Amino acid sequence: MKKNKGRKILLKLSILLLGALQISALAAQTNKYKTEGFLLLDNLNTKFYSASSAMYVESINTTTQVKSGTAFLWPAAHMTRALLWGAMIDSKYDVRLQSYVNKVNWYINGEGYGCIQNGERFFDDNGLIGDVLMDVYQTKIRTQAVLDKSMFALKYCIKYKDAQWGLPQKESELNKGIFYMGPVDPLANAYAKYYNITGDTNYLNVAKTYFEKINDYTLKLKNPSSLLFVSGSTYTNGVWTPPNEGPRACNTAAVVMLGIRLYQITGEAKYLDASKAMANAILARFYKYNAGFGEVSYWGGNYSEIDRDLKWYNAAKDICDFLIDKSRDIKGYYPDGPNDSGYWNEVRINMAAPATVSMMSQACAANAILRFAYLDLNKPLAKGVYKITNMASNKALSVKSPNTASNGSQITPSDFMDNKSQKWVLDIDHAGNYTLKSFENGSSVGVKDCSLIDGNTLEIDSNLVGDCAKFKIES
């Protein structure tokens, strides 16, 4: 029988670190999330890993530590993503990630991946593993073999989409008008990523079409008042009918992520605006400060990116703090299962451990914590007004000729006197490029005369536009 499944939660920010300059507005970095994330990942690698099969198991007995059989594909996808974020922080996890990615072939059953070896094929399983492997290819293991494994799953899904672009959970439900968010969410996100890899607009059009479809209120997937999604909808005799259930943060968050990716690709504000509105709806419905996140562990794991507003960072940090500080039971296990004790807003520090714990619930927690650890160690810059200080001289970047709005003034380091000419307005565009303007007069910082010659100076100029006034800030 197919196991309960885990999904995605909310809020991620793009990852950029300033590098050579010291930005005073950045908070001090912390290793709490890296430490706790590594501890959890190492426990997964010890308690839930079978050396004989080189694969992870579905669950363990918390008293005897006896391991069950090999994990189903859906939990395996979450474990792969947890390993990916561990490897993104520290290369010591590279070998295990590569080994486990290679093992995905074990699940192949005909034209798609089965839920277990020789098991039934599920579209949501294939959508998720395809999306996860696309992440692995984009960020860590850029080999054709990994990309092929991803596309094997995605092509299986896209082959069976119906006239409404919908997919059910499994093949026996085809041609019944079912539009299930389980496979559609990761499928659409994966095709947006694949466009970034290939530049082929056919893949971009798939992602854009799905965004428009799932946000169409006539499909009854999205509540027009709450802006939150349910798990699916069914089209019968010209009428769409949603299931009798409450909204899911996981389904909504996946659409948020899709919108952000489309905004980054196209620069169209409609995608960003829609994603912000949905992310705010998620926070309003499921999140409370210092009280965790009101979804079960099986639906947890990821943060979606919005912009450089630290509101999203702070919410993600608070959710991870609650997980680490308040949600573990007396044996150290994170929330498990679809019942009350599995919620990410349950205080469990005095609770006994359940008889069995699933690998998936622990992997989802590891995924969330390690993903935030990566963010915290590579904290993005928020839009705002900054003092920028040179690390060597401890002098602040300043307009050489202050108190003037004239163009052509050079930028030089000088002792900080808290002048407007020593403050800078930082902004970012949809592609992740930064612009810097003088707080004193609003003129842009850029290369003098837009020259490509080495050694040319930076200056402020109100006429600077385009790439001459844009910067990549990265580690």
pLDDT tens for residues 230-257?
A: 999 999 999 999 999 999 999 999 999 9
Given a cut of 80, is residue 424 above it in pLDDT? yes
Q: What single letter denotes the amino acid at residue 81?
A: R
The confidence score (pLDDT) of residue 378 equals 79
Is 358 a residue whose pLDDT tops 50?
yes
Distance CA 387, CA 389 (A): 6
Q: Is residue 350 within 8 Å of residue 46, measured between CB atoms?
A: no
Span 290-306, average pLDDT: 65
**What is the b/e burial string over 40-73, where b = at least 16 CB atoms within 10 angstroms of the residue's CB?**
bbebbbebbbeeeeebbbbbbebeeeebeebbbb
Mean pLDDT of 52-69: 98
Q: When comparing pLDDT for 265 and 19, which is higher?
A: 265
Confidence class for position 300, pLDDT limits 50, 70, 90: very low
Write a three-state SS string for the chain.
CCCCCCCCCCCECCCCCCCCEEECCCCCCCCHHHHHHHHHHHHHHHHCEECCCCEEECEEECCCCCECCECCHHHHHHHHHHHHHHHHHCHHHHHHHHHHHHHHHHHEECCEEECCCCCCEEHHHHHHHHHHHHHHHHHCCCCHHHHHHHHHHHHHHHHCCCCCCCCCCEHHHCCCCEEEHHHHHHHHHHHHHHHHHHCCHHHHHHHHHHHHHHCCHHHCCECCCCCCECCEEEEECCEEECCCCCCEHHHHHHHHHHHHHHHHHHCCHHHHHHHHHHHHHHHHHHECCCCCEEEEHHHCCCCCECCCCHHHHHHHHHHHHHHHHHCCCCCCCCCCCCCHHHEECCCCCCCCCCCEEEHHHHHHHHHHHHHHHHHHHCCCCCCEEECEEECCCCCEEEECCCCCCCCCEEEEEECCCCCHHHCEEEEECCCCCEEEEECCCCCEEEEHHHCCCCCCCEEEECCCCHHHHCECCCC
Q: Is the pLDDT of residue 148 over 50?
A: yes
CB 13 within 8 A of CB 312: yes
Alpha carbons 198 and 167: distance in angstroms, whole number: 25
| CA–CA gap between residue 248 and residue 239 (Å, rounded) | 22
User: What per-residue string of b and e applies to 176-191 under the rule 16 or more CB within 10 Å gives b?
Assistant: ebbbbbbbbbbbbbbb
- Long-range contacts of residues 444-447, Cβ cutoff 8 Å, at least 24 apart: 444/469, 445/411, 445/469
Pull the structure tokens for residue 418.
Answer: 């808290």
Q: Is the dihedral of CA 139, 141, 144, 150 positive or negative?
A: negative
Structure tokens at 198: 């290939």
Residues whose CB is less than 8 angstroms from the CB of residue 76 and which lie 6 or more positions away in sequence, other chains included: 55, 56, 100, 104, 107, 129
Query: Which of 380, 323, 303, 334 minimizes the C-alpha distance to 17?
Result: 380
18 closest CA partner among 320, 387, 351, 347: 387
Q: What does the block give as tokens for 183? A: 């496979």
Instruction: Report the percentage of the chain scoring pLDDT > 70.
Output: 88
Q: Quote the CA–CA distance of 134 and 149 in Å, as a whole number.
A: 9
Is the predicted pLDDT of residue 179 greater than 70, yes or no? yes
> What pLDDT is stored for residue 2 in this prediction?
45
Whose tokens are 């490029």? That residue is 433
Burial of 358 (0-12, 13-18, 19+ CB in 10 A): buried
Can you give the pLDDT at residue 115? 98
* 432 vs 434: CA distance, rounded Å: 6
Judge whether 27 and 320 are in contact, CB under 8 Å: no
% pLDDT > 90, the chain:
66
Q: Would the pTM of this model clear 0.75, i.e. be above it?
A: yes
Quick one: which of 194, 216, 217, 72 has its CA closest to 137?
Answer: 194
Give the mean model confidence (pLDDT) for residues 28-32.
60
Mean pLDDT of the chain: 87
Amino acid at 79: M
pLDDT number for residue 390: 85
pLDDT tens, residue by residue, 100-110: 999 999 999 99
Structural tokens at position 187: 């499928």
Q: What is the band of 425 on the pLDDT scale with cuts at 50, 70, 90?
A: confident
What's the pLDDT band for 406 if we cut at 50, 70, 90? low
Per the structure block, which two tokens stand in for 113?
A: 């991946």
Q: What is the spatial distance between Cα 301 and Cα 13, in angstroms, rounded to a whole number?
A: 15
- pLDDT higher at 275 or 428: 275
